[in-house]
Amino acid sequence: MTGGDGLTISGLVKRYGNQTVVNDVSLAVADGEFFSLLGPSGSGKTSTLMMIAGFTRMDDGRILAGGRDISRLTPQQRGLGMVFQNYALFPHLTVFDNVAFPLQIRKLPRHTLRERVAWALDVVRLGDFARRLPRELSGGQQQRVALARTIVFHPKVILMDEPLGALDKNLRYHMQVELKEIQRNLGMTVVYVTHDQEEAMNMSDRIAIMNQGRIEQMGPPSQVYENPATVFVAKFLGEANLIEPSNLQGSASSERLQAIALNGSVVFLRPERIALTPPHAEVNEVDGWTHWAGRVARVSFLGNVIRYAIEARGVTLIADAQNARGLPRFEAGDSVIACWRDDDVRVLNHA
């Protein structure tokens, strides 16, 4: 649907007075890729998106869309689609007229306009809602109208600023699946802004983690999650256990982890990689495993996952266990052995 060469950003900078909110951001989004900018509030992700859209003036850098330099063009001249968090629908216009609006300002012939609107509404499964007003729709349906209005003029790139933020959790997940399916079917190039880690990992082909105006790490969700480049990424993208070198010294750890204690690095370990066993159970004593005796300090029931906080060697380890039949259950105060493999550990510098 979109065609072209995707989106390329080089050296993007935005300053407000003495504060630099976007600092030399460069990235390339491939044709048909779903690319997410993820980060905490104030990280620069929305400012980056607004500069791509042309709503915020950039202080330095270059933006190419479909191989065309759009850096100095107005938002209307850039030919990009935009979906906002609040949908920005016209309350007095029907669904049909809301979707038709981008075509009307482009002065498309009436028969072409009708065909395009019918196509867009069919894509988002709202063909029977054309005569309704926005107030007669649910939040999820309004979100789909906003998407239909964006895709109806076949933009090269679609920008989305937290478009699912106003939806409840169950509907939000349903819309994630639906939006991703539409994106794949149409081959849309999408740049998506969110602060929701789960949403970004569920939908994206690649993620850029932003912090203080810079990109800390960029890559496929599984790669960034399993192999964070920095302590910030490890802590921001999901739960993370960060173990200081001093806590490894003299522990029942593998030779490799003992060696780590000599170079001042921090050990990173995801909660789902920690196995818990009762103190009397047999454990694998071969090298390549670490075993720490500890005590359950807290148990949190999260539905499909049971999260344990384990006090061991002056550290609070977070361990996630599947809520499945046959697995041991522990209560606060129970003694346990926390075990993990060397292969599940990553070593990060504090910087």
Residue spans per domain, the chain: 7-235, 239-348
What confidence score (pLDDT) does residue 264 get? 57
Provide the CATH topology of domain 239-348: OB fold (Dihydrolipoamide Acetyltransferase, E2P) (2.40.50)
SS3 content of the chain, % helix, strand, coil (to 5): 30, 30, 40
Q: Helix 110-123 crosses helix 139-151 at what angle (to 10 degrees)?
A: 130
What confidence score (pLDDT) does residue 173 get? 85
CATH class of the region 7-235: alpha beta
What are phi and psi for residue 152, nearest 5 degrees?
-65, -25
Could you list the pLDDT tens digit for every one of the 351 residues in the chain?
544 679 999 999 999 999 999 999 999 999 999 999 999 999 999 999 999 999 999 999 999 998 899 999 999 899 899 998 787 899 999 999 999 999 998 999 999 999 999 999 999 889 999 999 999 998 889 988 999 999 999 888 999 998 887 777 777 888 888 888 889 988 999 999 998 898 999 999 999 999 999 999 999 999 999 999 999 999 999 899 998 877 776 555 556 666 665 565 788 999 999 999 998 766 655 567 888 999 999 999 999 999 999 999 889 999 999 998 888 899 999 999 999 988 898 888 765
State the sign of the Cα–Cα–Cα–Cα dihedral 123, 126, 131, 134.
Answer: negative
Looking at residue 253, the DSSP 8-state letter turns out to be -
Residue 267's alpha-carbon distances to 123, 261, 350, in angstroms, are 47, 9, 10
Distance CA(118)–CA(110), nearest Å, equals 12
Distance CA(351)–CA(348), nearest Å, equals 8
Q: Are 331 and 299 in contact (CB under 8 A)?
A: yes
State the sign of the Cα–Cα–Cα–Cα dihedral 240, 242, 243, 245.
Answer: positive
Tell which residue, 88, 85, 86, has the closest CA to residue 162: 85
Tell which residue, 22, 34, 35, 91, has the closest CA to residue 61: 22
What confidence score (pLDDT) does residue 312 get? 93
The upper half-sphere exposure of residue 248, i.e. CA atoms within 13 Å in the direction of its Cβ, equals 24
Q: Map tokens 């190039």 to a residue.
A: 189
Q: Helix 139-151 crosses helix 169-186 at what angle (to 10 degrees)?
A: 20
Q: 154-183: buried (b, 16+ CB within 10 Å) or exposed (e) per residue?
A: bbbbbbbbbbbeebeeeebeebbebbbebb
Distance CA(291)–CA(283), nearest Å, equals 8
Residue 300's alpha-carbon distances to 14, 206, 237, 309, 318, in angstroms, are 42, 31, 20, 8, 10
Looking at residue 99, the DSSP 8-state letter turns out to be H
Q: Report the SS3 class of residue 150.
A: helix
Q: Map tokens 């964070």 to a residue.
A: 228
